[in-house]
Structure formats: structure tokens, C-alpha cells
Structure 1
Amino acid sequence: MTLVLAALAGLVSCQNYQTFLQKHVDNPRTRVQRAQRYCDIMMQRRRVMVRGNHCKPLNTFVHAPARDLVAACNRRPNAVGRHTTRRRLSLTNCRLLRGRNWPRCTYRAQQVRRYVVVNCRNGKPVHLDSTRP
């Protein structure tokens, strides 16, 4: 029984890591014909939404190898258990402009370089907590 529970825990962790990659990692950055449509296209392509098919108010895509985010999980956590990347990474923040229900969501893209703060499970990032300058 313990072996089965351990295997299931590993599967859930893997799925959370895979979901994290799908929702937050775009490396190299996907090229789109009109740069201002990057977020609209990526949010639809990656099926990023919140419960009930609502438009997600904010999502961040990281344009760095996933290994950089995994490496953050090996760094010392802050006081609340979050891990920060060693260096600033290239990001695109997608902020909802209008729309309520997916896929009719319109976003504004903002490209920045920031440190990424993640929650980790079993040595892999499973949630993008925040970014900082």
C-alpha cells in the first residue's frame, strides 16, 4: 500500500510539474506575426484559464530553459518556503485587458527581466509564486 501511495504521489508531482511547464515556460519564445498578440495566442494555445473557463487575470511566461527553474528548487528557500532563481530571466507578463470567459480573452503583453519565485515539490517547480526586480 505504501508503495502504491508513493507511486501516486510521484505521478501527481510529475503532473504538477508538467502543468507548470505548460502554463509558464516558453523557451525559446514563440514567434508570432504581431507581437502585441503574443499573449492572446499563447494563452489560447496553452489553454491557460481559471476554474469555470474564466479568463486568467495574469499569467507569466518564462523564456529560459526549464532547468533554470528546476535549479531554483535546489537553492535555499526564503522564510515562507519559496525558491528564487539565481539570475534574472526573460519573461512576458500577460495581463487581462477584457473578456470574462475563455477563449474570448484579450491580454496586454509586457516583456521584462526579473527573478522568478517558485514553489517546489520533489525538487521541481509546481507553481510560479511571483517575480521580483
Structure 2
Amino acid sequence: MQVQVTMAGWTLCVVLVLAALPGAVAETRYEKFLRQHVDNPRTSTLSAHRYCETMLARRQVTAPGRPCKPSNTFVHAPPEELTAACTQTPDAMGFQSTPTAVSLTACRARGGSTRPPCAYRARQVQHHVRVSCLNGLPVHLAGTYAPPQ
């Protein structure tokens, strides 16, 4: 009985110490959104056609042993511009859009790329970004659309 109490106390102590360490606490949904979708200013790479592969690996969106993500979008605007979407009126689907078009890179998996190393096509455009918000912060990128002509 004495050993169980001591072991439980030790486990609780370890958990509390780990929780206090920077980076030991799991990221919030907003932090995950930023990691997976915001690259401002745009990271320059040695070869522009490798941008998607480099960023998706660096940001741990694709990882060894996990399937390639079919598509991902990196927004090259300050997080505040995406947070501004959360103040807009939601559309019929409940998504909110950035008030202005922003620079972004749309990454799409190239044919047959289902397991790492993943191959992607990159397309740079100026689009509005549709997001889902939670507590006034974007937590999911639902899509993008071209500004009206």
C-alpha cells in the first residue's frame, strides 16, 4: 500500500513538472492552425518548386509513416489578418472569410503521392481565406476563393 501511494505521488510530481516546461503542453487549435497554415513572410527556399515539400515536412504536416496530406494552404499574411475573418458575418455554411484577398501558396499532392516522400504542385494566388473560428480565433482553414472581378 505504501509503494502505491508513493508511486502515485511521484507520477503526479512528474506530470506537474512536465506541464510547467515550455513546449511540454499540447498546442492549442489556434497554434496548430498557425503551424499548418501561416507562413509570413513567405519562407524562401533554394528552389521554389520545392516550397510545399519543404514547408509541409518542416511544419510536421507530413511525417514519415503517415499518409501524404492531399492538399494544404500556406497564407503569407500576418495572423491578425486571419483573425480579422473571425469578426466577419458567417456564410451559409458557418465559415467566415478574410475581408481582403491575401497572398497564399496552395499545395496539391502530385499524382500517386500517398506516402512520404510526398510530391506537391505549388500555386501562388491572391485569394480570400475561409475559416472556422473558436473564441475569436481561426482554428480551421475551410478553403479559399478568388476575389470578385
Cα distance, 1:99 vs structure 2: 2.4
Name the amino acid aligned to 2:91: N
Q: What is aligned with 2:51?
A: 38
2:29 alignment partner, SS class: helix
> Which of 74, 81, 105 lines up with 2:94 in the alignment?
81
Residue deviations 1:67-103 (CA, integer Å, cap 9, x gap): 000011011111221100000000000110142223x
2:44 counterpart of 1:47: no
Q: Secondary structure at the match of 2:87?
A: coil
When the two chains are superposed, the root-mean-square deviation of aligned CA atoms in Å is 1.8
Q: Look up the equivalent residue of 1:101 and give its one-letter code.
A: R
Q: In percent, how many aligned pairs have the same letter? A: 48
Secondary structure in structure 1 of the residue aligned to 2:122: strand
Say which SS state the counterpart of residue 28 (structure 2) adopts: helix
Q: In 1, distance between residues paired with 2:109 and 2:59?
A: 15
1:20 alignment partner AA = F
Structure of greater relative contact order (alpha carbons < 8 Å, 6+ residues apart):
1
**Alignment gaps of 5+ in structure 1:** 1-10
Secondary structure of the structure 2 residue equivalent to 1:53: coil
Alignment match, 1:120:
133
1:1-133 equivalent positions in 2, closer than 5 A:
15-49=28-62, 53-97=66-110, 98-102=112-116, 104-133=117-146
| TM-score (structure 1 length as normaliser) | 0.85
Q: Deviations over 1:44-83 (max 9, x none)?
A: 0011139x71100100000000000001101111122110
Give the structure-2-normalised TM-score.
0.76
The SS at the match of 1:67 is: helix
- Which aligned runs of 4 or more in structure 1 are off by greater than 2 angstroms? none
The gaps in structure 2 that reach 5 residues or longer are 1-24
User: Alignment length, in residue pairs?
Assistant: 120
Counterpart amino acid of residue 76 in structure 1: T
